[in-house]
Structure 1
Amino acid sequence: MPAPSGYVAGVGRGATGFTTRSDIGPARDSTDIPMEAALAAPAPKKARDDDDEEAEDLNDANYDEEFGYSGSLFAKDPYDKDDEEADAIYHAVDMRQDEKRKDYRERKYREAVEKYRQERPKIQQQFSDLKRQLAEVTEDEWAAIPEVGDARNKSKRNPRAERFTPVPDSVLSMGMQYGQMNSVLDRNIQSGLTTPYSGFQSTLGGMTSTLGGMASGILTPGWKTGIQTGTSTDLDLRKIGQARNRIMDIRLNQVSDSVAGQTVVDPKGYLTDLQSMIPKYGGDINDIKKARQLFKSIRETNPKHPPAWIASAKLEEVVGKIQAARNLIMEGCDKNPKSEDLWLEAIQLHPPDVAKSIVATAVQHLPNSVRIWMKAADIETDKKAKRKVLRKALENIPHSVRLWKAAVDLEEPEDARQLLTRAVECCSSSTELWLALAKLETYDNARKVLNKARENIPTDRLIWIAAARLEESRGESNMVDKLIDRALLSLKANKVEINRKHWLEDAIDAERASCRLTAQAIIKHVMGVGVEEEDRKHTWMEDAEWFVTEKAYECARSIYAFTLNTFPKKKGIWTCAAFFEKDHGTVEGYEQLLEKATENCPQAEKLWLMYAKSKWIHGNVEAAREILSRAFQHNPNSEGIWMAAVKLESENNEYQRARKLLQKARNLAPSPRIWMKSARLEWCLNELEKAKGLLREGIEKYRDYEKLYMMMGQILTQERNYEEARKVYNEGVRRCPNSIPLWLLIVRFEESQNRSTKARSDLDVARIKNPKNERLWLEAIRIELRAEQRELAESLLARALQECEHSGILWSEAIFLEQRHGRKTKSVDALKRCEHDPHVLLAVAKMLWAERKIKVAREWFQKTIKVNPDFGDAWAYFYKFEMIHGNEEERAEVKKRCIQAEPRHGELWQEISKDVKNWRLQIEEILELLTARLEIPK
């Protein structure tokens, strides 16, 4: 018997043995059955119980669409309607559940794919930054790339430079003397070895004689004398060119004549003939042949099918067989004389003089075809002939609006009016013709024309709107509103659906036609049509914004007026209307609107402040004081109104009044901001002791207000009391650990005291307490740059971008931390992650400016201030750019837009605007001061 698997002889009595690879056979998995056991052991039989089923047969022939394979549990049961309905319900439930999880599943899939691509990027992505640099490769650098060859071949790796051997004087002299008379005879001809005759031998003999003449010329005594005397040969390059042309002429003349004397080649026109043989179609000629056969089969099978003839003609036209195309299309016209498309294609393929005869034939077969008559008019070049053709067309087709319009366009106003009178009789259902006639008539006649038009077309709104515009142009303003109201009633009576959008578009057209009252009347009567009561405010505000984008400002103003009449107590609507009036209206209209707004919404302090500021800006300080006093009556504890009143008095040199107001505010409406403003006023007036006293009181009351500590530290630093300033700063960061400006102040303070190590440690503490903060990372990078530790700064920047991946200010710093050749790649990466960040956009604009791409840089500056008009640094750089590269008008435009935007933020902007020395500077002055400090980017 064979030994069992793994048997070792003598194991039972303690013997040890070994096995070889021949004993155990090839390597196999632990779950595999040995071959011997598989052959010896019989196949196991599955116990058959009543509940067990047979083994599942997975053959394709045993598959059923409803039940799967035959082993299914219910495969033998009948499938009825109830089962089908149940399957449909389960399927619907599955689809509903799948729809609920769809967004989550797709998001997870996208995240997984993105993570996978980050971990295992494609080769294309790995080399994307290098491929971008290929755009900077010049043509000379491309040409300098070596040819592909075997690197082992020394001649390919080290190619030898080309060598140029100068032409000897003998060759040049030979070319100069060619064609001149020689006194020496050709030996070959005289000896009779070659006899010149037509064809190849004649050509060969001529070339031989020419060479003989050249040789004899070389041996002339003059040549020898020239050599002996050593005189230089004067070279005339023009004669060398003439000699070359003579040789070419001789060869062409010899080839042009055959033995019989007939011309074979035209030496003057052979290049032109070759040019005319270039095919116009660049495709495969076999495809053209197949298409010809296919179209021919279609034409023969059904010659009454016009598209087949048109397609065949188009094919011939494309391949340059214009005459064949014309023949085919005319054959098609003969067999299908009633096809309008065939005649039009035939007219297009033929020249104008032939096309006229084709048009005449087409009109005979199709006298009622408007397109053919219009084509006939287009062929004519004379205006009188066009009129004649159109008049003839109107005799055959008097009800064609297109023909009437074309005929009217060719007439003078008086003749056009008469023609339109006839046109509206023939085409009484054309609104365009009625309106065109009304425009040409006088006021009284126009009213009659529009009345007739309403009788003939009672369902068209444009006739009613034209009537309203007519009354407005006449000065009958009271009739405009009545006509629009009657129009809506009449159209509803005629069962016409009032399309709100179409009416609003008509209002825009009316405003553009200087019919303001008509536009307002349309908006007044159509605003509520088809709008639910709960959606009115939202819908109407969207309509107003849409009108502003369409530059229909009167319509938008009407929308706001209508909305405010409906919702007079909504301060949000009043605010939007006020901003609209400020941007697109007059000062008087803006202030009148704010007067009404403050009457209807007296608790809206923003409206009061806007009203007072408008009066103050335009020089009416007393009116501004009166408005703020009224605002105090309605809002006695409003911090914003108190601050506005203080600013008004301090800006107008009323410092005592400002102090009294602040003292009253501290008693009546105390807040940390009021204490801060009180101390700042004293600080600006150089009353440092009073300012410190107010700040100490404020800190006692409001220990967690960061700005009090910041101001106290700055005042102490100004007094050179550095130890006290350090204590205040440390107390501030202990009380306000999340205040980033306070951390930055203490870091810069320590750095100014030559304690860079302490500044770095403070920054580390700040980053621990405020993780993922871009400002703290930026300050750490700049500390190293100021210390001339560029490598350490680059390392910190890399860590910062990992932690704050979407920080625009860090990416902008990274762009200019790169070398010039790497800034483009870095800017592309920055725009991918921060596409609409103003810091990144400004950095790109500065980079383009440094590369002297003036036009593109201006576009990026425009994009930056459009994204964030409150970014003061962008305005300053843009103004600096225009000061250098722009004209006076462009500079004035930038300054005007900056004053309108009133920027308040920006790192460089706030350094100037927050300085107590500049506390009274206006926007324009801050812009000028910051622009003078900026340096041109490099």
Structure 2
Amino acid sequence: MSRPAFLDQEAPKGYVAGVGRGATGFTTSADTGAVRIEDDIDDGGPKIDDDSGLLARRGKGDAAEEEADKIYEDIERRLSEKKRKKNEQLVEKPPSDDPVSQFVDLKRDLSQVTRDQWAALPEVGDLTRRNKRMRLLEKQQQRFYAVPDSVLTGLGSSQATNFASISQGKDKLLSQRLDELLPQAQTTTDAIEEQDSDMDSQIADVNRTRLVLNSLRRTAPNKASSWIASIRVEEQAKNFSAAKRLAVQACQKVPQSEEVWLESIRIHQKSLQSSYECKTIANSGLKFNPKSLGLWLKLYDLESNSDTLTKRKVLMRAIENLPRVPELWKKLVQQEESAEEKRKLALKAVELCQSDWDLRRILVSLSDYKESKSILNEARKIMGGNPQLWITAVELEEKHNPEVSETKLLSMMKKGMGEVSKVEDSDANTDWIKYAMAAEDENYLKTCHALAKAAFHTQLEVLLDLPGWIQKAQDASISHKNTAKFIYQAIVEKFPNDTDIWLLLFESSKGEMPTLVQHYKHAIELNPREELFRLMYAKDLWKLAGDVDGARSVLISANNDLPQSEEIWLAMAKLEIMNKRYKDAGVIFKRALDEKAKDSPRIWYKYVHYQRYMYYNKEVSSDKILEAVDEALNNFPQTSKLHLQKSQILMSDINDPQKARSALSQAVKICPQSVPLWTSLSQLEEVHFKSLLKARSTLDLALLKNPDSDLLWVHKVQLEVRAGDAVAASQICSRALQKFPSSPMLWVQQLSLITKSSQKKNSFLDALQKTNNSSEVLVEIGRSFYMEGKYSKAEQWFQRAVDAESENGDAWSWLYKVLGNLGKSDRRAEISKKVDSLFDSISKGVVWIKCKKDPKNLTCSGAEILDTTARVI
């Protein structure tokens, strides 16, 4: 760029640099020469005007310059004022608004962050690349490489891998992942901030509500709801003085409003004012509202309970103004102590309040039998559709005439239900069963019976809902057993051949032996061909009443009526055996076999079992037992239980394994579908002949004949376990579970093969899911904890097994056993008693069945079998 020419030229005369830009004039030594100090002596020479030239034009006399100076000064003043205000704001601004000071505490906390936490912080905007890196990392981790031989050789001399630590690490990782899935708790700071924001919003809402209500009170000062709302807003804001002030104003503005006076009393009570002030407010309100029931009751409540005289005076004043209000009369009757005075007041109350039932009920309770009947008859004309009227009449009859027949009470109740049905839309709208339960609570059992029976017979025709009535009875049985029993009685009268209802009735009558006997007799009379009723009748006479002779006579009568019933024959024999009358039992078996020798293999089986027991007691010889079982097999050669029984006699009683093997070999040919025969033969080969090869081949052949039997696979696994080959047992069990994934017994074997406790937890869950919480699996889990010495946890699992299936005897035995380890003798006694009552229904459990069917235990009770099983399990 070329240099401008004017820079090399001489400046014009009088030129001052910068004057065009508003610069002020100045003088240098170059213009004036050397500075010198002149004497302050007037030499009398001519005066020199120093303001000549350029400075002369900027003198004080120039008005335009002065105006410009004023403008600049004004601008400068405004700028300085603005700067001063800004500085003041900076000084007054709280330190928390300063970004530097605001995050000081957070910066200080950063010193506690670890390196791993820093490394785990995500980078903003790097989500896509991060996901890609994670995928690549997972692929790299999933790659597998062939390990060199040198490494494998080195591993051979190194220490063994610690699989326990690996498992613990996996469990720890699983726990961490589960914890991450849980919702994170809010920090205290967040909670406080949220609370503060809620409080601010509430304050803002209160202020807005105040403004709205103030406007409403100004526009409609006589509207009580606006005043009450204002009082409650101040109450919500905890401003009780303002609330009381508004209450006083409200009473002045709207004195005829009952609600306003009651609200004033309430707010004064809440602000801990004395009862005297509250009573003063109530009396003031009653001057304007003498017909206000609410104010009279409030004044009554404000009086002290010990001051009965004042309370009575308040009620009398209230009745003077409100003579037909039943509630006041009821309270006045309660205040009286004399029965005669109460009756007089009740008479007057009924006269003034004829449609109120409670007052009439009070009068009935204060009157004698004759007067009560006349009161009820008079009430029937006015309120004949009231259910409680008829119930009270029936209760009155039961109370004053204990010998009254149930037929009469039932007739009265049916008549009452008919009257009620005329008033109500439908009979179903009245819940008579609730009234029946209330009568039971008051010990009016005949009334309860009449109510239940009449309700069923009248409402069943309308509803036609028998299952609904059964459900009502079952619901009532929880707390009102008599009501449930009476409902069942009503149902069996309508449906006398329904066995299930009779069973429910029997169950509801347990504990009342005379009533139970009466029900049994009635059921047998109506159902003479039902053997179950006769068997239950005999059993309850024997077990509950201890009447052996009575039970025997019931069974003899049943046998005469039903001679073809094998259950009755066996019950007769069992009764004699359990009471140690063995010869009588033998006679009964002989009679039964004479009549049913060709018809009942079960009687033959029980007879042989009885003979084995007699053999152990040295009452019969072994030849007689074999003779009996051979005769049974001649009659029923296809009965596998008889073949199995013969092998047990040969093995256990006579101790002849060779004959037992021959008998079982012949039996599996005749009954190839019988799994117990195959397993018995296999065990015989294994235990007595020490031939694992034959034992295995026997089970394999059995599987060919019975491919759908999971029990055979269980025995194969157990065989390998006894042989000491845990690997083969595990392999067989895995194959079996593939074919029978929901078999409880196979899962029990699978769990028993797991030796490491770290692996059991997942297997427990799998077994429970696959078997739908089978009792066998629950028992095995409890057994596992028992073997580890965790008795309390084992008890929980055994209890679950019992709750899941009460028919499992092994579950009861384990529970009984672990309670002994825990020293819970009382609980143990309860279990023993429970098992004794359920003895006949307990039909599962490998060890339980073995002990129960042992001929030596033929006469043992349920409690004795439980104790035996618990010792050997």
Deviations 1:24-53 (A, max 9, x none): xxxxxxxxxxxxxxxxxxxxxxxxxxxxxx
Pair 1:577 & 2:505 matched: yes
1:200-239 to structure 2, matched below 5 A, reads none
Contact 1:608 1:627 survives alignment (8 Å):
yes
**Which of 429, 442, 458 does residue 368 from structure 2 map onto?**
442
Cα deviation, residue 881, structure 1: 4.6
SS of alignment partner, residue 920 of structure 1: coil
Q: Structure 2 regions of 5+ residues with no counterpart?
A: 1-168, 180-191, 616-620
- Given the alignment of the two structures, is residue 873 of structure 1 paired with residue 805 of structure 2, yes or no? no
Correspondences of 1:275-290 after superposition (within 5 Å): 282-290=196-204
Residue of structure 2 aligned with 1:689, choices 623, 639, 642 = 623
In 2, Cα distance between equivalents of 1:873 and 1:433 = 63
The question of whether the paired residues in 2 share the 8 Å contact of 1:571 and 1:601 is answered with no
CA distance in 2, matches of 1:426, 1:280: 60
SS at match of 1:749: helix
Per the alignment, residue 842 of structure 2 pairs with 904
Three-state SS of the structure 2 residue aligned to 1:603 is: coil
Task: Say if 2:298 is the partner of 1:298.
Answer: no
Output the CA distance in 1 between the equivalents of 2:451 and 2:385: 17
Q: Quick check: 2:206–2:237 contact (8 Å CA) kept in 1?
A: no
Residues 297 and 872 (structure 1), Cα distance of their counterparts in 2 relative to 1, 3 Å cut: same
Amino acid at match of 1:646: A
Shift of 1:600: 3.5
Please point out which of 711, 719, 723 is paired with 2:645: 711
CA separation of 1:700/1:890 partners in 2, compared to 1, >3 Å: closer, same or farther? same
Question: 1 CA distance for matches of 2:512 and 2:238?
Answer: 63
Aligned-residue offset at 1:673: 1.4
| Residues in 1 aligned to 2:804 and 2:333: alpha-carbon distance in whole angstroms | 50
1:590 positional shift: 3.1
Query: Is the partner of 1:352 in helix, strand or coil?
Result: coil
Asked whether 1:726 is paired with 2:661, we answer yes
Q: Is structure 2 residue 452 aligned with structure 1 residue 523?
A: yes
Counterpart in 2 of 1:894? 831
Query: Which of 671, 674, 680 pairs up with 1:745?
Result: 680
- Alpha-carbon distance change, 829 to 454 in structure 1, aligned in 2, over 3 angstroms: farther
Q: Aligned partners of 1:804, 1:310: CA distance in 2, in Å?
A: 74
Answer yes or no: is the 8 Å Cα contact 2:477–2:484 preserved in 1: yes
| CA contact 1:524–1:562 (8 Å) conserved in 2 | yes
Q: Helix, strand or coil: the match of 1:449? A: helix
Match status 1:931 vs 2:870: yes
- From the superposition, tell whether residues 887 and 724 of structure 1 become closer, same or farther in structure 2 (CA, over 3 Å): closer
Q: Deviations over 1:820-843 (max 9, x none)?
A: 567666656666566664445556
1:456, CA displacement in angstroms? 3.1
Q: 2-side partners of 1:424 and 1:480: how far apart?
A: 27
Per the alignment, do residues 644 and 307 of structure 1 end up closer, same or farther by CA in structure 2, a change over 3 Å counting? same
1:479-511 CA distance string (max 9 Å, x none): 534532442344456677433862222222222
Q: Where do residues 279-678 of structure 1 align in structure 2 (5 Å cutoff)?
A: 282-303=196-217, 304=220, 314=232, 316-318=234-236, 320-327=238-245, 343-346=261-264, 347-348=266-267, 349-353=270-274, 355-384=278-307, 386-412=311-337, 414=339, 416-476=342-402, 477-478=404-405, 480-492=409-421, 497-499=426-428, 502-532=431-461, 541-542=470-471, 544-553=473-482, 555-569=483-497, 571-581=499-509, 583-586=510-513, 588-617=514-543, 621-669=548-596, 670=598, 671-678=600-607
Which has a greater percent of helix?
2
Change over 3 Å in CA distance of 1:292–1:569 after alignment to 2: closer
**8 Å contact 1:682–1:688 — kept in the other structure?**
no
Query: Larger radius of gyration, structure 1 or 2?
Result: 2
Tell me, yes or no, if the aligned pair for 2:717 and 2:749 is still in contact at 8 Å: no
User: Does the aligned pair in 2 maintain the 1:871–1:904 contact within 8 Å?
Assistant: yes
* Cα distance in 2 between the residues matched to 1:129 and 1:485: 70
Question: Displacement, 1:639?
Answer: 1.9
Tell me the percent identity.
29
Q: Could you tell me whether the CA contact under 8 Å between 1:773 and 1:804 is conserved in 2?
A: no
Higher mean C-alpha displacement, 501-510 vs 696-705: 696-705
Q: Distance in 2 between matches of 1:387 and 1:852?
A: 72
Stretch deviating more after TM superposition (609-618 or 530-539) = 530-539
CA contact (8 A) 1:520 1:558 kept: yes
| 1:706–1:395 CA distance, 2 compared to 1 (3 A) | farther
Counterpart contact for 2:460–2:466, Cα < 8 Å: no
**Alpha-carbon distance in structure 2 between the residues aligned to 1:484 and 1:889:** 48
Quick one: distance in 2 between partners of 1:823 and 1:331? 77
Residue pair 2:791, 2:821 contacting (<8 A) in 1 also: no
Native 8 Å contact 2:810 2:848 kept in 1: yes
TM-aligned CA deviation for residue 393 of structure 1: 3.9
Superposed displacement of residue 875, structure 1:
3.1
1-structure distance, mates of 2:395, 2:575: 48
The SS at the match of 1:930 is: helix
Secondary structure of 2:458's counterpart equals coil
Aligned residues: 665
Kindly provide the CA deviation profile for residues 231-282 of structure 1, in whole angstroms up to 9, marking residues without a partner as x.
Answer: xxxxxxxxxxxxxxxxxxxxxxxxxxxxxxxxxxxxxxxxxxxxxxx99965
Deviations 1:563-584 (A, max 9, x none): 4444445555544434443x24
Structure 1 pair 804–455 and aligned structure 2 pair: CA distance change class (3 A): farther
Deviation digits for residues 194-219 of structure 1, max 9, x if unmatched? Answer: xxxxxxxxxxxxxxxxxxxxxxxxxx
Label 1:432 to 1:645 Cα distance change in 2 as closer, same or farther (>3 A). Answer: same
- Does residue 916 in structure 1 map to residue 855 in structure 2? yes
The 1:495/1:563 distance shift into structure 2, 3 A limit, reads: closer
- Structure-2 separation of matches of 1:535 and 1:835: 38
Partner Cα separation in structure 1 for residue 694 and residue 259 of structure 2: 89
* In 2, Cα distance between equivalents of 1:794 and 1:361: 92
SS in 1 for 2:459: coil
| Residues 385, 421 of structure 2: 8 Å contact kept | no
Q: Distance in 2 between matches of 1:390 and 1:862?
A: 61
Give the direction of change, closer, same or farther, for the CA distance of 1:639–1:423 in structure 2 (3 Å limit): same
Question: Separation in 1 of the partners of 2:230 and 2:623?
Answer: 100
Structure 1, unaligned stretches of length 5 or more?
1-126, 138-277
Equivalent position SS for 2:460 = coil
Q: State the SS of the aligned residue for 1:529.
A: helix
Shift of the 287–888 alpha-carbon distance from structure 1 to 2, 3 Å rule, reads same
Tell me which amino acid in the other structure corresponds to 1:351: L
Instruction: Assess if the C-alpha contact under 8 Å between 2:209 and 2:233 holds in 1.
Output: no
Distance change (3 Å), C-alpha of 1:131 and 1:338:
farther
CA distance in structure 1 between the aligned counterparts of 2:401 and 2:534, rounded to whole angstroms: 39
d(CA) in 1 for partners of 2:831, 2:811: 11
Task: Report the alpha carbon displacement of residue 693 of structure 1 after superposing the two structures with TM.
Answer: 3.2
* Mapped partners of 2:289, 2:542: distance in 1: 78
Q: 1:447 to 1:885 in 2, by over 3 A?
A: farther
Cα offset, 1:873, TM superposition: 2.9
Seen in structure 2, the aligned counterparts of structure 1 residues 286 and 620 have a Cα distance that, compared at 3 Å, is: closer
- The 5-angstrom pairing of residues 16-55 of structure 1 reads none
Q: Report the residue type matching 1:302 in the other structure.
A: L
Report the CA distance shift for 1:619/1:503 in structure 2 as closer, same or farther (over 3 A): closer
CA deviations on 1:174-193 (whole Å, 9 max, x unpaired) are xxxxxxxxxxxxxxxxxxxx
Q: CA-to-partner distance for each residue in 1:881-902, whole Å, 9 max, x for gaps?
A: 5545566654443333322222
TM-score by length of 2: 0.65
Amino acid of the structure 2 residue aligned with 1:635: L
Say which SS state the counterpart of residue 531 (structure 1) adopts.
helix
Residue 731 of structure 1 and its aligned partner are, at CA, apart by 4.1
Q: For 1:688-727, what per-residue CA distance to the aligned partner results, in whole angstroms no more than 9, with x for missing partners? A: 3333333334334434322112212222222343343234
